[in-house]
Amino acid sequence: TRTPVTILGLGAMGTALAQAYLDAGHPTTVWNRTAAKAAPLVAAGAHHAENVEDAVAASPLVIACLLSYETTLAALGPAAGAVSGRALVTLNSGTPSGAREMAAWATGHGARFLDGAIKNVPTAVGLPDTVLYYSGDRSVFDEHETTLRVMGGDTSYLGADADLAALYEMAVGGTLLPALLGFFQGAALVTRRGLPATSLVRYTAKWLEMIISVLPVIAEEIDTGDYTRLPSSVGLFHEGIAYDHEIGVEGDVDIAWHLPMHDLLRRAVEAGHRDHSIAALIEVLRKPHETA
């Protein structure tokens, strides 16, 4: 017999989560502020709870996927008396401080709290490669790991501090926009020449694989503070600044998004990192600790 699961929040992601539990044969209860969004899931076999309190009471495992911690706290308010003893999992995006606030509310009302992050799109829910990570009450993860894996095969536990999942989500997410902007710049260059952006994908994908391949070395350099292993120096990137400006002129593209990065490179050179690996940029990126 499969663990009964409640899904709170039936946006794009919550709907996909609920559908995955229905597909996996779990008794599934759903609730959403706008009740009409539950209709397709009810047609697929879900139980619809009229209010959030009933929804929480319906299952030992309650998974909330609302917009934010703020909206989750607001929505769960009326169910404060019902969460005691339940495993409550939140899967919204947010900051570590938001996660700590959420955890304080949940544990304060007697819930066993686990915060998680899903690092993929709704259509990827349930696939073996889909990444989810969790932090908080280890006993919730251990007890429900098989059930949590229904949402994605690459499921892991980061640690007991409830804000770790939000911290890692924040840390991982930082790559997205800079990487996409790099691709958009390349697409601007080739489409200006009448070539399709699709012609670039194969080569950019290889380039990204190269970046992936050096991440472990870069991470070790950062962890040890020994920036001598990667043969791509700050100086080399610093010399590339002129080249970025040429791209702007020759390709007729706006390269203004590079300027803050150029500034980081100049400050790194000034700080004596010219011959160090590009990983030394973290030394100028990190703000000095405030001393109390």
Report whether 48 contacts 38 (CB < 8 A): yes
Tokens of 25: 């044969």
Q: How many CB atoms lie within 10 A of CB 286?
A: 9
Closest chain position to ligand NDP (CB):
11
Q: What share of the chain is helix, strand, coil (3-state, %, to 5)?
A: 55, 15, 30
> Should residue 65 be labelled a site residue for ligand NDP when binding is judged by CB under 6 A?
yes
Q: Which residues pair with 106 in a beta bridge?
A: none
Please tell me whether residue 28 adopts helix, strand or coil conformation. strand
CA gap 149, 191 in Å, rounded: 42
If the CB atoms of residues 10 and 114 are measured against ligand NDP, the closer one turns out to be 10
Measured in degrees and rounded to the nearest 5, phi and psi for residue 207 equal -65, -40
Binding part of the chain for ligand NDP, among 39-47, 115-123, 126-134, 280-288 by CB under 6 A, reads: 115-123
Tokens of 191: 């489409």
> Should residue 48 be labelled a site residue for ligand NDP when binding is judged by CB under 6 A?
no
If the CB atoms of residues 134 and 227 are measured against ligand NDP, the closer one turns out to be 134
Query: Least distance in Å: CB of 36 to ligand NDP?
Result: 9
Name the residue among 259, 267, 260, 262 with its Cα closest to residue 284.
267
> Should residue 121 be labelled a site residue for ligand NDP when binding is judged by CB under 6 A?
yes
> Should residue 12 be labelled a site residue for ligand NDP when binding is judged by CB under 6 A?
yes
If the CB atoms of residues 29 and 233 are measured against ligand NDP, the closer one turns out to be 29
Size of the site for ligand NDP (CB under 6 A): 22
> Should residue 122 be labelled a site residue for ligand NDP when binding is judged by CB under 6 A?
yes
Close Cβ partners of 75 (under 8 Å, ≥ 6 residues apart): 8, 9, 33, 52, 64, 66
Query: Least distance in Å: CB of 15 to ligand NDP?
Result: 7
> Should residue 75 be labelled a site residue for ligand NDP when binding is judged by CB under 6 A?
yes
> Should residue 13 be labelled a site residue for ligand NDP when binding is judged by CB under 6 A?
yes
Binding part of the chain for ligand NDP, among 70-78, 80-88, 207-215, 256-264 by CB under 6 A, reads: 70-78
C-alpha torsion angle, residues 178, 181, 182, 184 (rounded to 10):
160
If the CB atoms of residues 173 and 272 are measured against ligand NDP, the closer one turns out to be 173
Q: Contacting ligand NDP (CB under 6 A), which of 3, 4, 11, 230?
A: 11
Query: Least distance in Å: CB of 63 to ligand NDP?
Result: 11
Q: Which residues pair with 134 in a beta bridge?
A: 116, 157
Binding interface with ligand NDP (CB under 6 A): 9-14, 32-34, 37, 65-68, 71, 74-75, 92-93, 118, 121-122
